[in-house]
Amino acid sequence: MSALHALGARAARLLDPELAHGLTITALAAGLGPRAKAIDDPILATHLAGLALTNPVGLAAGFDKNARAPGALLRAGFGFVECGTTTPQPQAGNPKPRLFRLTSDRAVINRMGFNNDGQDAFASRLRRQSRVGVLGANIGANKDSADRVADYGVGLNRLWGLADYFTLNVSSPNTPGLRDLQSEAALIDLLESTAKVRMELIKTRGDVPVFLKVAPDLHESAVGQIVEAAIRFGLNGIIVSNTTLARPETLTSRHRGQAGGLSGAPLLAASTILLRRFYQAAAGRLALIGVGGVSNGADAYTKIRAGADAVQLYSALAYRGPSLIGDIKRDLAARLRADGFASVSEAVGAGPL
């Protein structure tokens, strides 16, 4: 990291978290972000549901909700970037404060509530963006929607052709009732509806992968049901996982009791256990993205060996800054070689170290 970027990262940590985040996005959108200094190590090249990635380290949804800076984020070194969550209509989200750093725990709690500019603005920005790399669009439902299932179809219709893949976000804990869409009957209703929309879009605009993002708080019995529903309705993969409502006893920060979804280091173990269960249930029939607590190369490697074809991170950036991306990629490449793997795909599902 340059001295300027290091100074900026330190200053950002002293500001209100949401203000610091907004300033970061503004700087990236203005072209002030870092650029990866080297071409990715060839050992990191891989595929995700047919998408060619120069490396498997992605940026999770939530960082760039409104697609203001995906090109800058890809240039920073991510293998893929997921923007959103975006909803059909703009919405303000939950009252502030709604974003909290748990510094001593290397964690974050947020209860943002899908605050975003809406899909018309999202689409307009994507049309103007100049980018090289894989971009995903994470779509959700408006809080006051009369038909939340229909909102996902609206999102696909408005944004199809502007993103390389889509994620159906049914697992945010900050929109009341949204996680109910993960129950078997509700999920089948949602996936059947979105599959019909997708089939019509494919006829005129071609196909792209569609993923489902799930919560880390799922009961073990739900894993198989979700996998079979995803396969039945033609989804390409599952993102494991969103933020958690759990509060581990190990948390020490004064903000540990705040309402909302917990992300960061405390989520690593639980989300990885759930990832392994999805890997076993899917048995190679779905692509998997591992999210939750990734803050170094060892964490990324753990996710891959647990069954992830690729990983995503977000919270760790608040503490480590953009130099984290390169550090993870270098360490991951070294670990793959040390264990005799010739590629990321060879290590997927290899099991615990």
Decide if pLDDT at 88 tops 80.
yes
For 226-271, the pLDDT digits (tens) are: 999 999 999 999 999 999 999 999 999 999 999 999 999 999 999 9
Average pLDDT of the residues of the chain: 95
In contact, 175 and 215? CB cutoff 8 Å: no
For 105-116, the pLDDT digits (tens) are: 999 999 999 999
DSSP state for residue 179 in the 8-state scheme: G
pLDDT category of residue 129 using cuts at 50, 70 and 90? confident
Give the C-alpha distances (Å, rounded to integers) separating 138 from 100, 132, 156: 22, 19, 10
Residues of the chain with pLDDT > 70, as a percent, come to: 96
pLDDT category of residue 37 using cuts at 50, 70 and 90? confident
Decide if pLDDT at 12 tops 90.
no
Decide if pLDDT at 9 tops 70.
no
More confident residue, 153 or 13: 153
**Which of 9-13, 164-168, 216-220 is predicted with the least confidence, judged by mean pLDDT?**
9-13
Q: Which of 237, 240, 235, 188 is nearest to 217 (CA)?
A: 240
Mean pLDDT of 69-79: 96
Give the DSSP letter string of 252-273.
Answer: -STTTT-SSEEEEGGGHHHHHH
Helix H or strand E segment including 71? helix 70-75
For 181-192, the pLDDT digits (tens) are: 999 999 999 999
Catalytic residue among 171, 172, 271, 295: 172
Decide if pLDDT at 3 tops 90.
no
Mean pLDDT of 124-145: 95
Decide if pLDDT at 220 tops 50.
yes
Mean pLDDT of 83-87: 98
Which CATH topology does 3-347 take? TIM Barrel (3.20.20)
d(CA 201, CA 194): 10
Decide if pLDDT at 13 tops 80.
no
Q: Would residue 172 show up in a list of annotated catalytic residues for this protein?
A: yes
pLDDT of residue 130: 81
Domain coordinates of the chain in residue numbers?
3-347
d(CA 152, CA 194): 7
Decide if pLDDT at 73 tops 60.
yes
For the full predicted model, state whether its pTM sits above 0.85: yes
In contact, 105 and 122? CB cutoff 8 Å: no
Mean pLDDT of 269-291: 98
Extract the tokens encoding 265: 């280091």
Decide if pLDDT at 1 tops 60.
no
pLDDT of residue 353: 79
